[in-house]
Amino acid sequence: MNVFILNTGRCGSTTFIKACNHITNFSSAHESRISALGSERLNYPKNHIEADNRLSWLLGRLDRIYGDNAIYVHLKRNNNDTAQSFTKRYSYGIIKAYRGDGILMWLPEDSDPMAVSLDYCDTVNSNIDLFLKDKTHKMDMNLESIEQDFIAFWKLIGAEGDMNAALAEFGTRHNASKQPQKTEKENIFLRILYKLRRLAIQFPDYIRNV
């Protein structure tokens, strides 16, 4: 039976698949078919675990092909933390596709990135919740209790392999968001502020020496 890890992204899905790599009776991958078209997009091998946040936009097709003959996991993270992570990569990836010329067309460029990211999280999680409404084999998993939930997941799918090695993966950060790079204008502005601060500190000495 196939296993699908449905999620918003920025919630530990990369690390989750690293942990699943220690399961010997399932194959596993992260976003392995994102460039495939048509029927090939969802053509996963049997007994395969797939994590792909873009599946939340393909749920009708996923239902048509796999229906109730798969195990579905809704991987979640605190919405504020997830949204904050998206703001650090606001200019690329799926959050850029969601705003701009994507789902929220003509969204003003000065819209609050945190508000946009929270809106994205609410949309995706709601899509997944609706999809799972009539599914038999499903479970919620939370990043905040991931080790405990992963043990339950291991039992649910009848996993075999090295559970201890799998759990150890959650002690390593994978695909962490980097702090956004400052633009050249921002760097110039910061240099000016630094110089002004230095002048302000030195000014009393200058007055005394005049």
Q: Are residues 71 and 60 part of one domain? A: yes
The confidence score (pLDDT) of residue 191 equals 52
The confidence score (pLDDT) of residue 173 equals 64
Give yes or no for residue 42 having a pLDDT over 50: yes
Give yes or no for residue 159 having a pLDDT over 70: yes
Q: Are residues 132 and 113 part of one domain? A: yes
Q: Are residues 86 and 53 part of one domain? A: yes
Give yes or no for residue 144 having a pLDDT over 80: yes
Q: Are residues 23 and 82 part of one domain? A: yes
Q: Are residues 205 and 132 part of one domain? A: no
**pLDDT tier at 172 (50, 70, 90 boundaries)?**
confident
Q: Are residues 196 and 101 part of one domain? A: no
Q: What is the CATH number of the domain that holds 7?
A: 3.40.50.300
Q: Are residues 67 and 16 part of one domain? A: yes
Query: Which domain covers residue 157, as residue numbers?
Result: 2-179
Q: Are residues 123 and 203 part of one domain? A: no
pLDDT tens per residue, range 57-102: 999 999 999 999 999 999 999 999 999 999 999 999 999 999 988 9
Alpha-carbon span 205 to 203, nearest angstrom: 5
For residue 188, give both structure tokens: 């110039």
Q: Are residues 203 and 117 part of one domain? A: no
What is the arithmetic mean of pLDDT over 149-173?
Answer: 95
- Under a CB-based contact definition with an 8 Å cutoff, are residues 136 and 68 in contact? yes
Concatenating the DSSP letter of every residue in 139-165 gives: EEEEGGGHHHHHHHHHHHHT--B-HHH
Q: Are residues 100 and 15 part of one domain? A: yes
Q: Are residues 145 and 84 part of one domain? A: yes
198-204-205-210 Cα dihedral, nearest 10 degrees = 120
- How many other C-beta atoms can be found within 10 angstroms of the C-beta atom of residue 139? 15
Q: Are residues 42 and 64 part of one domain? A: yes
% the chain with pLDDT above 70: 82
| Count: domains in the chain | 2
- Under a CB-based contact definition with an 8 Å cutoff, are residues 7 and 76 in contact? yes
